[in-house]
A and B are shown apart, each in its own frame.
Chain A
């Protein structure tokens, strides 16, 4: 009887074991097959674009992204082309070396021999760290449209997009530089709209946004930094802003848009003021392309300067530029050549206030006794200074970066206008 029970028990054990093989596998292929497929896919994808890839390399979280062109050949050769101040002295230069996709934590792209353009950010330099970039990357995503890499050791990030067929390196870098000028030159300031909140993104020309609340200046010690690289059609962040999953911001009209947030620029009048107070920028007035009243005042003043400084044939007005003076006033910096060929600068103060879309500029007076003396000596100067008084409407042809050119036109008299460009 006991034997019978034992027999039944063993038969049950056997049946249970037999059932275990029927459990459905999570994967339809073995680990080795799946690993090999991932390697094959990465190799095929990387070597596919006939003109290579646009690569955006972010070495760390505290420096800008760099643009490269990388061409992977299926025989193991990679050619990297760059134009930047760090590795090429702003000339277009290429270097070739080797690449391989190998298996580690997943498919790993390794640049396993030195390439001047690719390894500059991983080179330890004198301090043992350098830029803390990588030369071995985990392949996070790879398809024909887009490859994302993450550095194995220091978490450098790279984004790769297929280069347009037939596009030369010089055309590519010219497009990037044009976009850089259009979007980022002169420390442009953007507004970021994110989930009903608005933030400021400072100092676009550094390739490293500092994020603050509205009306705030970044704290250098505790700045929230967001590295980005410039592409022909917009900006690529190294990692997304908080609460935003997006890293790619494409130009659409006068905005940079993504799926979840948009980056915009303040209206021109507000921008004029923001650029002075928050960016610490300077608005330089174009004195050769200015309204008739200002032009006439400059000509009259030039005659007075030449008369006063007969020994210097170059005596003349050199420039006019607005710069923040203190919390309440803006200085118009008047520079001129007098007795020497080194320009002398005097400051004359104004208040600037916003009235809706307009800007009210009111003359206050000289900033110090030297400025007062010059004003007394050259009475025509006051005429010039007062041509900048009034209520001005502002406009720009560079909605994404008004520092490239803004025009202020007197609301009640459109013949009074001046143009200015921004500079940090």
Chain B
């Protein structure tokens, strides 16, 4: 019996040896890309690496791979010119703000790992809605409709870009540390995930929401409250609160109550001073010196 096993083993070994010879594999089937020092975007790519990847551990993607987008929507890439402008503004109105008011290394540790720019919005014509941004798993923030932005129009940039950035980043923060349940209870009876787009601004304020989209669901309400507070001037914010309290409504008071919860949560969970963020952003928005911004003169000041 032992002999039979020996013979069987020798036979199998021979078969295996014979059938496994010759084929050679390298470390990978993919061929390493050769970095072209004369590449058209080399200078911009290096600048992005130096100012985003190294200090904040984030890849700033402006080229678009359609595989990385939602196939249910039609989109187009961002122009290099707008990608450059938004990159500078992102440093000025977002990254450098956190460097100034947040704990050291806050964005490097908690910020998104990928920022993807897309030229158009994701438009759902049937519902009359458009997506301006997404946050995926605390890793990636996608910002859309960039090609339609007018760099001199701060209101538009705030509404479509920077509010979206703060909105999506707040999603990343609450995906890491959940927000207080008490926030969800305040207006739990009036969230409308399917019909929020038919709500006007003033109706939303009177119901206790900072925007119509905030009325869609609690987690959107939470991040909209933070984002709107950061980017809106004091006058605009106070006018919204007053409008929310008009005609016998208590919406303004509700928004203030929600803001207090957000403020406390950011301070306790993230050591972030929401009012300091708001003040720094407002100061910078009122001092939009384009030469200084494009030459990064605001850094380290």
Contact = CB atoms under 8 A, between A and B. Distances in A.
A100 B63 CA distance: 10
A391 B18 CA distance: 93
Contact of B40 (A6, A98, A102, A152): A98
Contacts of A36: 31
Contacts of A129: 74, 125
A98 B80 contact: yes
Interface residues of A, number: 48
A36 B41 CA distance: 23
A227 B101 CA distance: 59
A129 B12 CA distance: 61
B156 interface: no
A100 B66 CA distance: 13
Contacts, number: 130
B11 A77 contact: no
B8 interface: yes
Interface stretch (A9-17, A249-257, A409-417): A9-17
Contact of B41 (A7, A98, A136): A98
B63 A98 contact: yes
Contact of A13 (B4, B11, B41): B11
A135 B76 contact: yes
A19 B102 CA distance: 68
Given A104-B67, A135-B66, A135-B77, A6 B19 contact: no
Contacts of B38: 75
A192 to B, nearest CB: 34
Contacts of A102: 65
A110 B69 CA distance: 14
Contacts of B65: 102, 110, 112
A32 interface: yes
A6 B8 contact: yes
A128 B77 contact: no
B19 A17 contact: yes
Nearest to B147: A114
Contacts of B16: 17
A13 B73 CA distance: 55
Interface string B3-40: 11001101110111011011000000111000010111
Given A77-B40, A126-B123, A128-B124, 18 more contacts: A7-B7, A10-B8, A10-B11, A14-B11, A21-B22, A31-B29, A76-B41, A97-B79, A97-B80, A111-B77, A113-B63, A114-B76, A114-B77, A123-B76, A123-B120, A127-B123, A129-B125, A154-B74
